[in-house]
Amino acid sequence: MRTVIAFIFFLIPSYLLAQVNSLSGEILDENAGPMPSATAILLNPSDSTLQYFGVTNAAGMFEIRNIKNGKYLLQLAFIGYKTIYKNISFPGENTGDIGSIIMIPTPVALDEVTVTGERIPLKIKSDTIEYDAKAFKVAPDGVVEDLLKKLPGLEIDRAGNIKALGEDIRNVLIDGKEFFGNDPKVATKNLPADVVDKVQLYNKKSEEAEFTGIDDGTRNQTLNLKLDENKKKGVFGELMSGGGTGKHYQSNGKVYRFDEKTQLAALGMFNNVNRYGFSVGDYLSFSGGLSAFGGKIIIGEAGIPVNFGETVKGYSTSGAAGLNFSYSPKKNQRFFISYLGNGSKKELTQTSKNTNYREEGSFNLDERTEQVQRDTSHRFNFGARYLFNETNNIIINGNVSYNTGFIPLSSYTSSFINDYIINDQTRESEDVSDRLSGNISTTYLKKIKEGKSDLKIWANGSLSNITSETGFENITNYYNPVITEITSQFQDNSMKSQNLSAGMVFTRRITLKTYLDVIFEGGYDNQDLEREQGNTLNGYSIIDSLSPDFMKRGKYFKPGLSIRRNTEKTNLTLALEYNTGKYSTSLWENAENEKEYNLIQPRFSFEYSYGSGRRIMVGYRSYVTTPTVNQMLPVVNNFNSLSLFYGNPDLKPEIIHRLSSHWWIFDQFSFTSFLAAASIRYTTNKINYSRIINDQLVQVVRLVNVESDFMANANIDFSTPIRALGIKTNINIDETYNNGINLVDGYYNDITTFNHRLSVDFENRKKEKWDIGTGIGLTLTDARYSIQQSLNNVYFDISWFGAVRWTPNDDFNFNLSADITNYTARSFEESQVVPLLGAEISYFFMQNNRAALTLSGFDLLNRNTGIDRISELNYLRETRSNIIGRYIMLSFKYRLNKFGSKDGGINVDIKKR
């Protein structure tokens, strides 16, 4: 701990102790009226980069504090007015309070001029904040994520998730267009920062509202990256390759071309250092791929092999490729398609220790698995936006994916009661699987009367075909009495699913601000599962009782009415829907088992903006989830002889009620944000597990409906600059409560889980040369079981991280990172402290620093350990995995673009469009 404290103090740079000053003033319009939201910015005179900034309040007053001694260029700006510049020095006679400054309107209309060369780092207009990317220094090879970290009001966590003004960003556009589907990290983690001219942050309306002019109250925080026009005239990108100790290597390439009508991007990578794909979402769409057939995972469940701050398990060799193409022949017409392909080979060894709880006590289960997993994935996203005329519009989105998996696996498990062995099992298996799936959604919009009535017709369809061929051999030994069972079988599965839904919404204005929606929606869901299973000893023979043909047929119809009232400050929606549906199952073409449901489902939402940067929201909705074909299949899955799984054809649909609220505050003058969110989810007929455990510790698992499940979550996120110290802090508190029911040996087991998470982060605000961050995290889990209260347990993990980046000039860049995680011993065998240290130095050379040499080190102390701990249902588990360990790598990167300039200063050129 002393080392940690010392390192934290090391992270505080000496400039925090330097002499500081303040600057204040009043900005008025041409009529001497106050100008709120005008910006007062201190720039570096040599290169016009932002040093300090302030925003005027409702009275037109601003104040900038804690300014270091030196020379600055003061910039006063407001959209529609001439920008004022003034040289200023600290200390100086004309500093402190500069008095009142009168702004002069621009002599021509804004829509008739283009201002080039002038750098106004920050503009605030209505609900849009615009940043000038050139006013924020980024390393020559920096990506958009590095730029966003420097922008006031934006926060990027260690996984690359973006928050703006305290709210999550889920849409990142390039010149107003989609980029590689809907995964924002593909853009932020790959696009070069130096091609971005402006970063625009705004609340984007839905596409339906933008077209019809009828506000539906939908808003999404959106970042639009406006590219530099001069850098869209050619091809740009980069190539990188590196090699290191332990035969480690990595390489990647990125090529881009953008113009007014076309977006074209190509990405590629190959490595054996557990870097997979271009973003975490890229991986999730891949390995979420082949779902479970009755509890057996088709594509591996070994965790996400993407290194975004988490320990990556196993040794992976992987490659990926991506293509993105978008074409806009006219202003309101756009067609786009993207491709992401991945392939990997992972060698994974895991050991796990499980404590399982029963009414009469507990037992322990130890397991060791080894597997070499090979996966491939190909995913196409496509879409179109086509405006036929001023009253007719069509929106199309879709995707097609193809996944394959090959997993040979070896495992050994043993079960104990009070250190006496009850059983053990050796299992060998080999699984080959593939999945072909696709879906498409189409929306047709018709404006009947501008701003008064419109018609929306939509349809969604999806198809999937999943197949697997599995061979497995289980040798199971029981020791009381001594019995050995050998199961050598094959299991071939084929599951096909079809889903179609369609609907219509007619909207009519009934008062000036109030609209009535008439809603009709319906659809069907078909699933077919065919399985052949049999013995492989003494030839192949099919076992009819284990080879079901099982199908599910479902359909629903849901009419409803909705009233919406939208004003400048409020959005209110009240809706009532009638949901009627039925589904049936049939095994071996026998008589169908049919179930119906009829529900009245109210829905409401209310949002109130009670001031600039002030908003509260509350909403309620309910929905129905019917069981899947895997959950309802009544035929045993004996893939694991010690855990036999049965579905249940009599399962009822889950009915879920969700109440949510949030309170958001953002102060644009101090750039302080506060977000408090709370939600409650109550589920009736919850589908959960019933476990029967016999004297040989063989578990028979069935799915059943339990009475209810209750979950509550509360989250507080607070971020503010501490100007006196020159730092920004973020505090996040997350509380989750869950009360659920499962059955163990026929007894109801009430499971109550409390999860408490706290994180506190600090980082410096000025990041020209130093980018410093540190933080701590605490996770505490409190699990309680009604069947064995003596086995209730509490365990917690503590983590700390520190990161330093130093850029002394344009030629060098230094990085140092450290992570320390403390896994406590309570409820587990021992405590673990895992320190992880990394370092990197980069040297940039050639014209415009187009080339870079980077020497990097990972896990320099060679102490990394893959540990996961979870508390679920009626068991507690700790899993340890092999990890990649220490390596040193030297890499070379070359930027393909020929543009780049180190010129500073401001050049104002006003010209007609």
Query: Which residue in 56, 53, 54 sits closest to 26, CA to CA?
Result: 56
Return all residues near 68 (Cβ < 8 A) that are at least 6 apart. 15, 18, 19, 20, 21, 90
Question: What pTM did the predictor assign?
Answer: 0.82
Residue 662 in domain: no
615 close to 607: Cβ distance less than 8 angstroms = yes
As a whole number, mean pLDDT of residues 130-155 equals 85
Statement: residue 44 has pLDDT above 70 = yes
82 close to 113: Cβ distance less than 8 angstroms = no
What pLDDT does 321 receive?
93
Q: Which of 257-271, 298-312, 549-563, 729-743 has the lowest mean pLDDT?
A: 298-312
What pLDDT does 829 receive?
62
DSSP character at residue 6 = H
Q: Cis bond leading into 835, ω under 30°?
A: no
Alpha carbons 596 and 16: distance in angstroms, whole number: 68
354 close to 364: Cβ distance less than 8 angstroms = yes
Query: Which residue in 177, 157, 629 sits closest to 383, CA to CA?
Result: 177
Statement: residue 654 has pLDDT above 50 = yes
Q: What percent of the chain has pLDDT over 70?
A: 89
In this prediction, residue 872 has a pLDDT band, given cuts at 50, 70 and 90, of low
Statement: residue 644 has pLDDT above 70 = yes
243 compared with 125, residue with greater pLDDT: 243
What pLDDT does 676 receive?
94
888 close to 245: Cβ distance less than 8 angstroms = yes
In this prediction, residue 828 has a pLDDT band, given cuts at 50, 70 and 90, of low
Q: Residue-wise over 605-641: b if at least 16 C-beta within 10 A, else e?
A: bbbebeeebebebebebbebebbbbbbbbebbbbbbb
As a whole number, mean pLDDT of residues 327-345 equals 91
Alpha carbons 306 and 124: distance in angstroms, whole number: 37
Tokens standing for residue 752: 């109550």
Q: Residue-wise over 36-53: b if at least 16 C-beta within 10 A, else e?
A: bbbbbbbbbbebbbbbbb
Helical ranges in 205-333 per DSSP H: 207-212, 280-287
DSSP character at residue 865 = -
Residue 362 in domain: no
As a whole number, mean pLDDT of residues 865-873 equals 74
Tokens standing for residue 630: 């895997």
Statement: residue 64 has pLDDT above 80 = yes
Alpha carbons 382 and 34: distance in angstroms, whole number: 49
| Residue 202 neighbours by CB distance under 10 Å | 18
pLDDT in tens, 499-542: 999 999 999 999 988 999 999 999 999 999 999 999 998 788 99
Residue 47 in domain: yes
pLDDT in tens, 486-500: 999 999 999 999 999
**Percent of the chain that is helix, strand, coil (3-state, to 5):** 5, 65, 25
Q: What is the CATH number of the domain that holds 23?
A: 2.60.40.10
Q: What percent of the chain has pLDDT over 90?
A: 49
Alpha carbons 191 and 434: distance in angstroms, whole number: 32
Residue 679 in domain: no
Residue 849 in domain: no
What pLDDT does 873 receive?
60
Statement: residue 482 has pLDDT above 60 = yes
Three-state DSSP at 317 gives strand
What pLDDT does 95 receive?
67
pLDDT in tens, 607-619: 998 887 789 999 9
What pLDDT does 472 receive?
94
Burial class (CB in 10 A: 0-12, 13-18, 19+), 107: exposed
What pLDDT does 311 receive?
63
Query: Which residue in 336, 346, 340, 287 sits closest to 315, CA to CA?
Result: 346
Statement: residue 853 has pLDDT above 70 = yes
Statement: residue 290 has pLDDT above 60 = no
Return all residues near 640 (Cβ < 8 A) that are at least 6 apart. 425, 427, 474
- Paired with 338 in beta bridges are 324, 381
In this prediction, residue 673 has a pLDDT band, given cuts at 50, 70 and 90, of confident
677 compared with 66, residue with greater pLDDT: 677
As a whole number, mean pLDDT of residues 77-88 equals 86
Q: What would the 3-class secondary structure string for 414-474 be?
A: EEEECCEEEEEEEEEEEEEEEEEEEEEEEEEEEEEECCCEEEEEEEEEEEEEEEEEEEEEE
Alpha carbons 433 and 402: distance in angstroms, whole number: 11
Alpha carbons 885 and 866: distance in angstroms, whole number: 10
CA dihedral 175, 177, 182, 183 (to 10 degrees): -20
- Rounded to whole angstroms, the maximal C-alpha distance in the chain is 99
Statement: residue 198 has pLDDT above 70 = yes
264 close to 440: Cβ distance less than 8 angstroms = no
522 close to 501: Cβ distance less than 8 angstroms = yes
What pLDDT does 911 receive?
32
pLDDT in tens, 201-211: 888 888 888 88
Q: Which of 104-113, 177-186, 459-468 has the lowest mean pLDDT?
A: 104-113
Half-sphere exposure of 64 (CA within 13 A, CB side): 25
As a whole number, mean pLDDT of residues 667-686 equals 89
Residue 348 in domain: no
CA angle 504, 509, 515 (to 5 degrees): 70
CA angle 818, 162, 375 (to 5 degrees): 75
Return all residues near 553 (Cβ < 8 A) that are at least 6 apart. 524, 525, 526, 583, 584, 585, 592
Statement: residue 20 has pLDDT above 80 = no
200 compared with 4, residue with greater pLDDT: 200
What pLDDT does 47 receive?
73
Query: Which residue in 135, 21, 20 sits closest to 77, CA to CA?
Result: 135
Please name the residue that has the structure tokens 């059983």.
423
Residue 745 in domain: no
Statement: residue 335 has pLDDT above 50 = yes
Q: Whats the size of the chain, residue-wise?
A: 913
Segment holding 842, helix H or strand E: strand 832-845
Q: Which of 150-164, 258-272, 591-605, 744-758 has the lowest mean pLDDT?
A: 150-164
Residue 530 in domain: no
610 close to 616: Cβ distance less than 8 angstroms = yes
Alpha carbons 759 and 778: distance in angstroms, whole number: 6
As a whole number, mean pLDDT of residues 618-640 equals 93
Give the domain extent around 104. 1-113
What pLDDT does 36 receive?
86
**Dihedrals phi, psi of 17, to nearest 5 degrees:** -95, 0
Centroid of chain to Cα 231: 30
**Sign of dihedral through CA atoms 301, 746, 477, 416?**
positive
Statement: residue 292 has pLDDT above 90 = no
What pLDDT does 785 receive?
82
- Paired with 751 in beta bridges are 740, 785
DSSP count for the chain of H helices, then E strands: 6, 50
pLDDT in tens, 812-825: 999 999 998 887 75
In this prediction, residue 9 has a pLDDT band, given cuts at 50, 70 and 90, of very low
Domain count, the chain: 1
Statement: residue 632 has pLDDT above 80 = yes
Query: Which residue in 840, 852, 854, 856 sits closest to 894, CA to CA?
Result: 852
On average, the pLDDT of the chain sits at 85
